[in-house]
Amino acid sequence: MAEAARLSPAGVSAARAATHRPPRVPATSMSPDELREAARDFEAFYLARALEPMFEGLSSEAPFGGGMAEDMWRSLLIDEYGKAIAKAGGIGIADAVVRGLIDLQEQAGAAPIAERQPATAATTSVERKTP
């Protein structure tokens, strides 16, 4: 009987309400530059993980190929590919993450609130090309 209540829509809603917590945001907000950097880092990490399967089946030639060192080097290379793609403009994940982080800061009332700039292809590509 208790199991049926857990599986009912009312039981599911009660369980979600009990486990749902508002996101934690620091007392002070991050600057727009810090938000963009964090979002770019996240996009670079995601892209590197998405690129990993492309390199799984590659074998290396003897006498210098293979081994643990090559596996480590390859993972570092893939991480750098992800960073390079994200720095060059990425695939748009960073823009969505920045908007989400700004929304979280605004909802939490963190001060000062980062000003939102409309995301356009012109502004995001110019912003990303700065060192």
Q: Which helix (H) or strand (E) holds 69?
A: helix 68-87
Q: Are 61 and 70 in contact (CB under 8 A)?
A: no
**For residue 88, is it left (φ>0), alpha (ψ between -120 and 50) or beta?**
alpha
Identify the pLDDT of residue 121.
46
Q: Please, what is the average pLDDT of the chain? A: 74
Q: What pLDDT, on the 0 to 100 scale, is given for residue 27?
A: 56
Q: What is the mean pLDDT of residues 36-46?
A: 94
95-110, pLDDT tens digit by residue? 999 999 888 888 877 5
Q: What confidence score (pLDDT) does residue 70 get?
A: 82
pLDDT value for 65: 72
- Each domain of the chain, given as residue ranges in start order, spans 30-128
For residue 74, what are its two tokens? Answer: 């390859």
